[in-house]
A and B are shown apart, each in its own frame.
Chain A
Amino acid sequence: MSAVLAGVGLIKKYGSTTALAGVDVEVGACDSLAIMGPSGSGKSTLLHTLAGIVRPDGGQVLLRGERSEMGVPPAEGWGRIDDLGENRLSALRRKRFGFVFQSGQLLPELPAEENVALPLMLEGLPRAQAVERARRWFAPLGLDGLERRRPGQLSGGQAQRVAIARALAVAPDVVFADEPTGALDQATGTEVVRLLTSVTREQGAALVMVTHDAEVAAHCDRILQVRDGRISNYSQFTVS
């Protein structure tokens, strides 16, 4: 596995509570990593830290192919991203990461295809091209014919598939998914996570997913168990 994102010795504290107590983790292209753990274990903090949403109090987050804010990169081809300025971090999240959340990430007033096209337009792609590229995702994700539907006119599973399309539309290096099946029933959730892992792999992107559902986690290549801010268990599956 060729790692694309790594967290080294990550420490994060909220007041007197330690959310991360020196976590080391890495994820490679076409690799999928499930982070599990009980409530308050630090699994969401770990995802947010790796995604550059939360700055760690200690340790480093490294991304292959990213130029560091200052100084020499820690290793050849790697760039430290936890010390980037807010604007660069924002641009990095837009260009190199994709996000899928439990719900609410789609803009209710935009049709599905425009929700998917929005990150491309933010990158400066002309609207017609952005929409055309966005539409390409609908058939593979089973959304054919739903391009002009608004999020409120979609089922929960369909909305999550649109969110997956939006996350992948910019051809990200890493997709972060935070409880992507949390608001779905078992069958729909299984279908969504199957699509998420397979499409992410096909695109050559890494997937980091937080879930509390063991069945969902089982779709990933690896499972990381987090407890009290530390990795308590690590499993690796052979993906069929």
Chain B
Amino acid sequence: MRSPVLHLTWHLARSSGRRGLQSQLLAAAAAAVGSLVLLTLLAAYLGAGARADRTAWRTPAPDRHGTAIQALTTTYVRDEPITVVSLAQLPHHARTPAPPGLNSFPKQGDWYVSPALARLLRTLPPTQLAYRFPKSTPYATISAAGLASPDELVAVIGRAPTDPTVSKSADRQGIYDDGLTARSVVSGFAGTRRSVFTADDQAAVLLGVGLLVVPVIVLAAAAGRLGAARREQRLAALRLAGATPRQILAMTGVEAAAVGAAGALVGAVAYGALLPALAEVPYGIGTWYVGQLWVGLPWVAAVVVGVAGLIAVSAMSTLRQVASSPLGVAQQSDPRRTRLVRLVLFVAVLVYIRVSTDGSALKPGTLVALMVLFYGAFWMFGPWIVDRLGRVVGRFARRPATLLAARRLSDDPRGAWRTVSGLVLAGFVAGFFTVGLLGIVGFDHRGQVAVPTANAADARHAVGEARRLLRAAGVDATVGTDDEGFLLGSSDGVVARVSGGPAALDTAVTVLQPLGAGRLPYAGAYAEAQDTAVSDRLAQLGTATLAVSFLVATASAGLTAAANVLDRRRTYGLLRLSGTPLRVLDRARVRETVLPLLVLAGGTTATGLYAAVQVNKAAGSTISTSGAVQLAVCVTLGALAMLAAIGASRPLLRAVTADPAHATD
């Protein structure tokens, strides 16, 4: 016999009326936001890996039987890195294949630049940039196949094998050269080492994904709970009419999964439509090629199925009581108390973190592990503190709205925690990342340009020449061989201390190039590249995590608020009928969210700040004031957005209580 589940589910869903439709639309909207966020996160993760791989060809892969010499170096203009790849075909050797993004292997004197670098070459005076490259022929353009980002600054230059820029002196020598300068004989472009500027991108995204997955799951779970009361009543009636628990669960699962899948599909379509806009969001080295952010149909299908499944599981979990007993819902009597073990676990984790971090410098991996541990412990702790907060506020509440809010908190602390958890945990992450991560305080390289030379004698000889070149270019500078700022590292060379802004610095780098004997002069950005790459990425991660967390948390709060209004419409209606002012009901709803938000988001943000201060103290660096301001602005905006989202369901509250006579039906 055919199962009646599908037919009955469809029939009930269709006949659930306007109220049912409202819940289903809200659930679908939550699923859409969830799938859009998940696909975006996935796109950022896969895209970051894909574009980092596109930089690997530039670092030469040594081959003793190679056919060409490849030298990588990095120069900076306006503090932005330009990757320069010099190539020289070895005579009497087989032809070397073309590097990615070029039609053929460049002949001596040919040079290719990325479109972004071409724009800079056109806009900046040649003394600040163009004179660093060959002047003989016009340049060609590197296609997207050889670039990681449309904004990337890359030059590929064909040289003679005898050119100093591909000689052994152009190989890695100083302490700052790792990943920025390299030279080798190659037979092709099968390098596997990702550039310094993209190597940490994927790991940082992964960390962000880890931090954001929980809020997204909370959102999907909230979607599954939408209309729970309506569904419970309807299915309790079915149960009394003889439906089995399995049929009840199946009907709920089918309905929730169908609504979730429809919403998730809308989210997937929105993701597809938004790809060009998403590609314009800069991360690391810049914006993206649209194709890098397309995750492929299998991933899209997996996310849609995953979100729909999550919503179905969440919806079915709300029905356990109905499924076990038809009277289960009506007889729910005990508040969902939380146990003290949650506090004990949280304190144990705090003690462990304190002991682990006491007096020792933290490795990044350990730091992340401790953060994840804290995150998990706080997730356990949240409902307990919400419960206690509800009891304390309930004890001292003077006004009806506060009393109602407090009692709701201790009645369902897990539900209240779910509403605010996204923002609370985002506060911790944001507190840590926006304030804690900044450049390590070390040597001051401001206004300095280093020109490495082969030896100390060459350096002494180069001082006079450097002064002459700088004077001819109109750059005011003092030149010497002393290296107080340790910009040369352990290498011999000349250091010019330039007066003036970035333009003067770039001019100095350009005009001093002939002195480098194969090495390009460099400024502080080169020496700090490794540190900057990591700290910039983590700072961006903090901002992005904060933004997405707020988006998801706001959506969660708005949906939950709307769902609560729909589910409690009879109670609200009866209260209105007996004269309870609408504003009291509304204030109670808002305070239900604001109370835990103020205490917990404030608490975790402060904890994040404290952790950041401790880490900075251990690392010998200072606190980022701008980060603190950014944090304050973000948390304020996030809280306001959340309140606005809750306020958005005020018209719904007004509508469902507009005709209180219906509440008695």
Contact = CB atoms under 8 A, between A and B. Distances in A.
Nearest to A110: B407
A105 B574 contact: yes
A109 B400 contact: no
Contacts of A90: 576, 579-581
A136 to B, nearest CB: 19
Interface residues of B, number: 30
A53 interface: yes
Contacts of A92: 579
Nearest to A108: B411
12 contacts: A90-B576, A90-B581, A97-B578, A101-B574, A105-B578, A108-B411, A109-B407, A110-B407, A127-B397, A150-B333, A152-B332, A153-B333
Interface in A101-128: 101-102, 104-105, 107-110, 114, 118-119, 121-122, 126-127
B537 interface: no
B331 A152 contact: yes
Contacts of A44: 661, 664
A93 B571 contact: no
B71 interface: no
Interface in B425-471: none
B335 interface: yes
A91 interface: yes
Interface residues of A, number: 34
Contact of A109 (B335, B397, B576): B335
B335 A122 contact: no
Given A110-B404, A127-B403, A104 B574 contact: yes
Contact of A93 (B403, B577, B584): B577
Which 5 interchain pairs have the tightest Cβ spacing?
A94-B579, A152-B333, A109-B411, A93-B579, A109-B407
A118 B400 contact: yes
A95 B579 contact: yes
Given A109-B335, A122-B579, A114 B664 contact: no
Contacts of A31: none
Interface of A: 44, 48, 53-54, 87, 90-95, 97-99, 101-102, 104-105, 107-110, 114, 118-119, 121-122, 126-127, 150, 152-153, 167, 178
B421 to A, nearest CB: 20
A167 B574 CA distance: 12
A159 B574 CA distance: 15
A99 B334 CA distance: 26
Contact of A114 (B332, B407, B584, B661): B407
B333 A121 contact: no
Contacts of A119: 578-580
B578 A104 contact: no
Contact of A94 (B397, B574, B578, B664): B578
Choose among A91, A105, A126 the residue with the greatest number of B CB atoms under 10 Å from its CB. A105
Contacts of B576: 90
Interface string B403-433: 1100110111000000000000000000000
Nearest to B665: A44
A127 B402 CA distance: 11
Nearest to A154: B333
Contacts of A150: 333, 335
Contacts of B575: 107
A53 B577 contact: yes
Contacts of A53: 577, 660-661
A98 to B, nearest CB: 8
A150 B410 CA distance: 12
B398 A126 contact: yes
Interface string B570-590: 110011111111001000000
Contacts of A93: 577-579
A122 B664 contact: no
A118 to B, nearest CB: 6
B18 interface: no
Interface in B360-418: 397-400, 403-404, 407-408, 410-412
B300 to A, nearest CB: 42
Contacts of B398: 126-127
Given A90-B579, A93-B578, A105-B574, A122 B584 contact: yes
A54 B663 CA distance: 12
B403 A121 contact: yes
Given A90-B576, A109-B412, 15 more contacts: A44-B664, A53-B577, A90-B579, A92-B579, A95-B579, A97-B578, A104-B570, A104-B571, A108-B411, A109-B408, A110-B403, A121-B399, A121-B400, A150-B333, A153-B333
B392 to A, nearest CB: 15
Contacts of A126: 398
Nearest to A48: B661
B565 to A, nearest CB: 15
Contacts of B410: 109
A69 B232 CA distance: 43
A99 B576 CA distance: 11
Contacts of A94: 578-580
A122 B577 contact: no
Nearest to B397: A127
A126 B396 CA distance: 11
B394 to A, nearest CB: 9
Nearest to B660: A53
Contacts of B400: 118, 121-122
Nearest to A149: B333
A109 B576 CA distance: 17
Nearest to A101: B664
Nearest to A92: B579
Interface string B319-337: 0000000000001111100
Nearest to B330: A152
A110 B407 CA distance: 6
B363 to A, nearest CB: 47
A99 B663 CA distance: 13
Contacts of B404: 107, 109-110
B579 A91 contact: yes
Nearest to B390: A109
